[in-house]
Amino acid sequence: MPSLSDHQSNDLVKLLLIGNAKTGKTGSLVSLAKAGYKIRVLDMDNLLDILKYMIQHQAPEALENVEFRTLRDKYKAGAVGSVIDGQPKAWINALKMLDSWKYDDTDLGKPSEWGPDCILVVDSLSRLCDAAFDFHKAINKNPDERSTYKNAQDDVERVLATLTSGNYCTNVIVIAHVAFQDQPDGTRKGFPQGVGQALSPKIPQYFSSVILYTNQNGKRTIRTNSTPLIDLANPAPFLISPDYPIETGLASIFEALRKPPVKDNPKPALVKRA
């Protein structure tokens, strides 16, 4: 019979990182690369420029700790505006990568078997949701678009359930933007941006750690305590501070929750572009 002393949280962190655009979410991963984690980014935004330059500036040797795959559907001009060029493939390719990180001449095996010294990063959930919607819109024969939303929402939720399950044995960071919704009681709440509005309130339910990036008067901060507008989750409030600077915050949070990565692990494969 398992006891809490054997719980997966001893080794793995499942973290939802939310914030408005340009609050430093992607660039803050530099502290984890410097700490020795092998970071594999499912890049749906194509905005890793800041992370590259931050690592080059602070710890160029850590560039080899980061592998990424950029997945975006191609668009072209159409009679009624921009349309996807051909069949949307980003969603299906993303699912394949989350099952087996293999493409071209890169093969890093199954992310679910990477272990505690690796971090799978989904950047961002917002664009992953867009890819899911575009895929289901293309295959849905029902003219009622509500069914497309429902199918995409269910598909994304299943992905989140998979990534945060005990069988997915690696650290996971999902980066999401904030979307505000009016509540039945007249209040307004911020949730991770999903597909439509029905999915957004469900997303935090899958994560033991939910943190918020803020930018107030030019000072960027990681918050771990809830605000009046956004509910957060701090699994160890006696170990994790209410706020951190974004430059070092992620590494500090991981250090509080689990053992540091093994420093003498073999180097990952060279980064390959999609």
pLDDT at 81 over 90: no
Q: Is the pTM of this model over 0.75?
A: yes
pLDDT at 60 over 90: yes
The pLDDT tens digits for 216-253 are 888 999 999 999 999 999 999 999 999 999 999 999 99
CB-based contact 10:4 (threshold 8 Å): no
Alpha helices in the chain (DSSP H): 30-34, 49-58, 90-99, 125-139, 145-163, 249-257
What's the pLDDT score for residue 6? 66
Q: Rounded distance, CA 44 to CA 88, Å? A: 13
What's the pLDDT score for residue 50? 96
The pLDDT tens digits for 99-149 are 999 999 999 999 999 999 999 999 999 999 999 999 999 999 888 889 999
What's the pLDDT score for residue 264? 54
What's the pLDDT score for residue 227? 95
Q: Residue range 177-198: average pLDDT?
A: 93
Q: Rounded distance, CA 242 to CA 225, Å? A: 6
Of 44, 157, 39, 46, the closest CA to residue 94 belongs to 44
Of 153, 126, 114, the closest CA to residue 161 belongs to 153
Strands (E), 193-269: 209-216, 219-223, 243-245
Burial class, 228, CB count within 10 angstroms (exposed 0-12 / middle 13-18 / buried 19+): exposed
Q: Give the model's confidence band at 1: pLDDT under 50 very low, under 70 low, under 90 confident, else very high.
A: low
Query: Looking up tokens 């409030």, which residue turns up?
Result: 237
Give the end-to-end CA distance of the chain in Å, rounded to a whole number.
Answer: 45
Considering the chain, what percentage of its residues have pLDDT values greater than 70?
A: 92
Q: What is the mean pLDDT of the chain?
A: 92
Considering the chain, what percentage of its residues have pLDDT values greater than 90?
A: 81
Structural domains of the chain, ranges and CATH numbers in brackets? 4-73+85-257 (3.40.50)
Q: Give the model's confidence band at 267: pLDDT under 50 very low, under 70 low, under 90 confident, else very high.
A: very low
pLDDT at 175 over 90: yes
What's the pLDDT score for residue 269? 44
Could you tell me if residue 2 is left (phi over 0), alpha (psi between -120 and 50 degrees) or otherwise beta? beta
